[in-house]
Structure 1
Amino acid sequence: MTAEERIKAIHALLSDHISPTFLEIEDNSDEHAGHKSAGGAGHYTVHIASPLFAGKNMLQQHRLVYSAVEPLMDSEIHALSIKIK
């Protein structure tokens, strides 16, 4: 999967599962070039806001995000930073 395809896949999963009111995905993979443990997967920062986060603590919010992108975690996402808006 290309970097652009990964971002589209992350966007689709988050949109389908969380219905964000704001979603921005940064590809930080270039900052981590050469990391052997990455195995070709990418490093991303997700900036996201959703009504689903209301009344939830940060851990619960992050679990929602990780649950949504879980299908990509073993193969396409090496590292994910989450910024809740």
Structure 2
Amino acid sequence: MSVANQLTEYLQALKPQHLQLINESMNHAGYFDGKESHFKLIIVSDDFAGKRLVARHQQVYTIAEPLLTSQGGSIHALAIHAYTPDEWQALLASEGQAPASPQCAGQRKA
């Protein structure tokens, strides 16, 4: 099973109303076809209600832990955009999409 599919399966624990996982590995140094090391996650869940951003990220990292490179997995970077359903609707109404992922030290030069 691909890393993306594993992570998507693990994240079902948060009962997401919306989940989008984008493989951004091709934008980073050392990329080869099929590499799954850098991801952008957009997740919308009622489980985030009343929680600060850091607590939301901690929830996601706890779930993703087996797939992270620090634990022997292959995910080097995970840009997390975690919203409640109300926050997500407001963002879509104002900006139309989630923010771009941050630059990585290993970012390919254009």
Is TM > 0.5 for Structure 1 vs Structure 2? yes
Among 21, 24, 43, the alignment partner of 1:25 is 21
Structure 2 stretches lacking a partner, 5+ long = 84-110
Query: Is the Cα contact below 8 Å between 1:25 and 1:45 reproduced in 2?
Result: yes
- Which aligned pairs between 1:1-85 and structure 2 lie closer than 5 A? 5-15=2-12, 17-34=13-30, 42-74=37-69, 75-85=73-83
Quick check: which one's helix share is greater?
Answer: 1
Secondary structure in structure 2 of the residue aligned to 1:55: coil
For 1:34 and 1:76, locate their aligned partners in 2 and report how far apart those are by CA, in whole Å.
13
Secondary structure of residue in 1 paired with 2:51 = coil
Cα distance in 2 for residues equivalent to 1:14 and 1:41: 17
RCO comparison, higher one (Cα < 8 Å, 6+):
1
TM-score scaled to structure 2, two decimals?
0.65
Unaligned runs of 5+ in 1: none
1:18–1:68 contact (8 Å) kept in structure 2: no
Give me the CA root mean square deviation.
1.6
Moved over 2 A (4+): none
SS at match of 1:23: strand
For 1:52 and 1:44, locate their aligned partners in 2 and report how far apart those are by CA, in whole Å.
Answer: 21
Compute the displacement of 1:77 (Å).
0.5
Sequence identity of aligned pairs in percent?
34
| Number of residue pairs aligned between Structure 1 and Structure 2 | 77
Give the Å deviation of 1:18: 1.1
Shift of 1:10: 0.7
- The residue that corresponds to 2:104 in the other structure is none
Q: Which has the larger radius of gyration?
A: 2
The secondary structure found in structure 2 opposite 1:68 is helix
